[in-house]
Amino acid sequence: MLIKPTAEDVRVVANSLGRISTLVGIAGVAPLLWAVVGREWAPASSFVLTIGVFLVLGSLGGRIRVSQQKLDWTRGMVIVALAWLLVPAFASIPLALSGHYASGLDAVFDAMSGLSTTGLALVQDLDHLASSLNFWRHLLHFLGGQGIIIAALSIFAGGGAVTLYLGEARDERILPSVHSTARFIWAAASMHLVVGVTALTAVAWLVLGFDFDRSLFHGLMVFFAAFDTGGFAPQSTNLGYYHSAVFEFTAAVLMVAGALSFGVHYALWKKRYSSVLLNLETRTVMTTFGLTLTITLLGLATTGAFTHAFGLTRYGFFQLLSAHTGTGFSTVPISELAGWAGLAFAGMAMAMAFGGMASSTAGGVKSIRIGIAYQTIAIQIRQMLVPEGALVSRSYYQNGKTRLTPEISQAAMTASLLYVVLFMVGGGVALAYGYGFGEAVFESISAGANVGLSVGITDPTMPVLLKLTYIAQMWLGRLEFVAVFTLFGFIWSTWRGR
Amino acid sequence: MSGRIGRRVTTWVDDARGGLGAIFVEASVVVLILVIAIILSSIFLTVV
């Protein structure tokens, strides 16, 4: 029997959404100040409007009285799923008012893409977008990547905070409490922010010869997009704009850092290198990266377009790393990437689908699930080979030795299957509109795995239903289904429950 | 009070050293993969 949600459930959800709205409103002050300093008055007024909307929502939510702030599983998941719809819907206001988007839906698309750290973009004439708006787009990567909920937890949360944490597809408690884990995530992000922005700015200033101000701007934007595996860039030619192997290398280090789970970050900080090497995720991601890199390089070598190993490595490695970490940066034009066929295309598509580590900002199926799926299949095969009645068990290392139980196997296989279905649905919609099979599948995986590489389908002229499909894929892929399914269940129970 | 501030500063310094060490390891991994990729590329360009 379905139990109808109580009025208190709805009040707690609304109250929590209000708190999150307040937080995003406060974050909007940064691009407002940027716009004022840069005398960009039109964007400044749109940021005032956006901040006002978020603060009004926050105030309305705050006025709703709740008897206890406790968040059970359902309430937490519903809050997360709704927050990830509410924030991009209103964060799109300054983008929609900029005149750089064909419609409000295109602005929402970019806001969802930014927040979910995907990187697909419908912005027009990006090279002439106001710098404060560019900053806002990249700040959305940072807010979404580091987690609006994580930030909310650090500042507001009372009991049941762990549910919000789980709802954002972060199932790893590095430290004993969620609060201390959230603090570590912010500490790691801050350290990478200081080192990453300094390194990128130095390269742009000293190697590329940019002015210092411009170097700092590009350093900050590329950091947000690289460390949060986002993929937006300040220029329309993405990272190809810089024409610099040194700049690409610096961004690559940040992309790798962004795709690591914070458990691995913690082990590296504490110099527990053996723990990192034993980790199932580390082993899986190295295997899948090695496999897809080999396939892609071999595929590119057969095209005859490359005569030197350095050139082949630079282009092949960067594009593949971008795909596997879910970043979506590219140094080749969309038309050139669309021309990658055969093995190179297969390697890229597989890398995007595999994704990075769990509890990171990378998307895709995630290496922990790939590793567990492999272990599960290995158990099944061994079970067939041993005498009848003998029991085969297996363990893996993930922040300590863990026995592989049927429940863990089932959860990993189910989530993996859901991702495959997600990729198929997006591909199917694009196919129905007459796009080619390869490009339809590539773009769908890119949206559902929150990567952001495009072979040309993502464009302001694409059908509205396809835009909505990709928005839904980015939302589902980022939250890894559970929170969204809980929201659907909540709505269904409100209607049919007793 | 000074003891508490001293302990906090020591913690921050330790954290910063740990963080810088982690970033150095991440950069080293990228260099290692790049070297492997260049070797693979050389082999593929020679064979294909």
Q: Where are the domains of chain B?
A: 1-48
Chain B residues 9-48 with CB within 8 Å of chain A: 15-16, 18-23, 25-27, 29-30, 33-34, 36-38, 40-42, 44-45, 48
Query: What per-residue confidence (pLDDT) applies to A350?
Result: 97
Chain B nearest-CA distance from A421, in A, is 32
pTM of the entire structure? Answer: 0.92
Interface contact flag, B21 A268, Cβ < 8 Å: yes
Chain B nearest-CA distance from A250, in A, is 8
Query: What per-residue confidence (pLDDT) applies to B25?
Result: 95
Averaged pLDDT, B39-43: 96
To the nearest 10 degrees (0 to 180), the angle between helices B2-47 and A262-269 is 110
Say if residues A143 and A480 touch (Cβ distance below 8 Å). no
Say if residues A227 and A220 touch (Cβ distance below 8 Å). no
Find the CB nearest B30 among A256, A260, A302: A256
Query: What per-residue confidence (pLDDT) applies to A173?
Result: 59
Query: What per-residue confidence (pLDDT) applies to A101?
Result: 97
Chain B nearest-CA distance from A357, in A, is 14
Interface check A200 vs B, CB under 8 A: no
Phi/psi at A260 (5° precision) = -85, 145
Phi/psi at A341 (5° precision) = -125, 180
* Residue A48 to residue A60: CA distance in whole angstroms: 18
Helix (H) or strand (E) holding A401: strand A401-403
Query: What per-residue confidence (pLDDT) applies to A71?
Result: 73
Listed as ranges, residues in chain A with pLDDT below 50 are 155, 157
Supply A453's token pair: 């590489």
- Chain A neighbors of B48, CB-CB under 8 A: 298, 301-302
Phi/psi at A77 (5° precision) = -65, -40
Could you report how far apart the first and last alpha carbons of chain A are, in Å? 8
Query: What per-residue confidence (pLDDT) applies to A126?
Result: 96
Q: Of A80, A54, A118, A82, nearest to A323 (Cα)?
A: A118
Phi/psi at A403 (5° precision) = -80, 135
- Report helix, strand or coil for A67: coil
Query: What per-residue confidence (pLDDT) applies to A29?
Result: 97
Supply B14's token pair: 């330790």
Supply A86's token pair: 């509410």
Chain A nearest-CA distance from B24, in A, is 9
* Residue A310 to residue A356: CA distance in whole angstroms: 25
Query: What per-residue confidence (pLDDT) applies to A167?
Result: 61
Q: Of A368, A161, A379, A165, nearest to A283 (Cα)?
A: A368
Interface contact flag, B19 A269, Cβ < 8 Å: yes
* Residue A194 to residue A3: CA distance in whole angstroms: 49
Interface contact flag, A310 B27, Cβ < 8 Å: no
Phi/psi at A214 (5° precision) = -70, -35
> Quick check: ipTM above 0.95?
no
Query: What per-residue confidence (pLDDT) applies to A76?
Result: 84
Query: What per-residue confidence (pLDDT) applies to A146?
Result: 79
